[in-house]
Structure 1
Amino acid sequence: MDENQALTAFAAISNQTRLRIVRMLVIIGAGGRSAGAIAEALGGAPASRISFHLNQLEESGLVESRREGRSIIYSAIFPALSDLVAFLMRDCCEGHCAVCDKAIALFAKCTGRPTDPVD
């Protein structure tokens, strides 16, 4: 991820509603959630408002949508989110931090799908 991509992503999540949506989608995982369910979880926010925020998140590359029947399901793009975290941590301790390097490597493996426990 380059600086311009990071700025676009950070701008997208600098809004309280969009940040809540991203966090919700991260918790839910790769299965995602419909726009209506997202609106309901946010206290019954108007559909047009939620649609605007979901569009902003899609344009930033942090969220993707897919059609399932009559619903549009939104889910977090976990590689993009891990790239954003890695962008912040990449040069930690002048690039010589084994803990940060390990964390970045683990984030890069995240798909949003449950996995077997790591030993």
Structure 2
Amino acid sequence: MDEPHLIDAFGALAQDTRLQVFRLLLSAGPDGLPAGEVARRLGTPHNTMSTHLAILSRAGLARSRRESRQVIYSVDLETVRGLVTFLVQECCGGQPERCAALLDAAMPASSCGPLPGSCQPACAA
């Protein structure tokens, strides 16, 4: 990712409600959630939520698709990958074994397991 896109993405996440929306969509996985459901779960008025979802979409963090009368939002995992890559690119001076604690914190063993429809990976036993 180039620097302007990184700045847009981090800027979009630098607001409480949008960060909550992002985390909710991330937990929903690739199936995403209808915009109304996102608003309901976070207790945010629909018109306010539309603005937040639009900002996340413009920043490349969320994408939408129409299913009948609903607009479904999900996290754009490629953008998330770009953000994470940027953050850890220089981690530990090219010695990945020194970053084990960081990776363990990001992917605790409790999140492991092959879950259908989930973005959680299966962990090696």
Instruction: Give yes or no for TM over 0.5.
Output: yes
Q: How many residues align?
A: 110
Task: Give percent identity, aligned residues only.
Answer: 38
Q: Quick one: distance in 2 between partners of 1:29 and 1:100?
A: 26
RMSD of aligned C-alpha atoms?
A: 2.1
> How does the TM-score come out when normalised to structure 2?
0.78
1:97 aligns with 2:93: no
Structure showing greater relative contact order (alpha-carbon pairs closer than 8 Å, 6 or more residues apart): 1
Q: Which runs of 5+ in 1 are unaligned?
A: none
Partner residue, 2:35: 35
Aligned counterpart, 1:118: 123
Q: Which region of structure 1 is more displaced relative to structure 2, 60-69 or 3-12?
A: 3-12
Spell out, residue by residue over 1:19-71, the C-alpha distance to the aligned partner (whole angstroms, 9 max, x if none): 0000000101011001100000011x111100000000000001000000000
Matched with 1:12 is: 12
User: What TM-score do the two structures reach when normalised by structure 1?
Assistant: 0.82
Pairs within 5 Å for 1:38-117: 38-43=38-43, 45-98=44-97, 100=99, 113-114=118-119, 117=122
For the Cα contact (< 8 Å) 2:18–2:53, is it kept in 1?
yes
Q: Find the aligned partners of 1:93 and 1:13 in 2 and give their Cα distance.
A: 25
- Distance in 2, matches of 1:14 and 1:6, equals 12
- Give the secondary structure class of the aligned counterpart of 2:31: coil
Q: Residues 35 and 74 of structure 1 are in contact (CA less than 8 Å); yes or no, is this contact kept in structure 2? A: yes
Q: For the Cα contact (< 8 Å) 2:92–2:98, is it kept in 1?
A: no
- Cα deviation, residue 83, structure 1: 1.1
Q: Give the SS at the match of 2:122.
A: coil
Which amino acid is 2:33 matched to?
R
**Unpaired runs of 5+ in structure 2?**
108-116
Could you tell me whether the CA contact under 8 Å between 2:28 and 2:118 is conserved in 1?
Answer: no
Preserved contact between residue 90 and residue 100 of structure 1 (Cα < 8 Å): no
Residues 59 and 114 of structure 1, relative CA distance in 2, 3 Å threshold: closer
* Structure 2 counterpart of 1:118, one-letter code: C
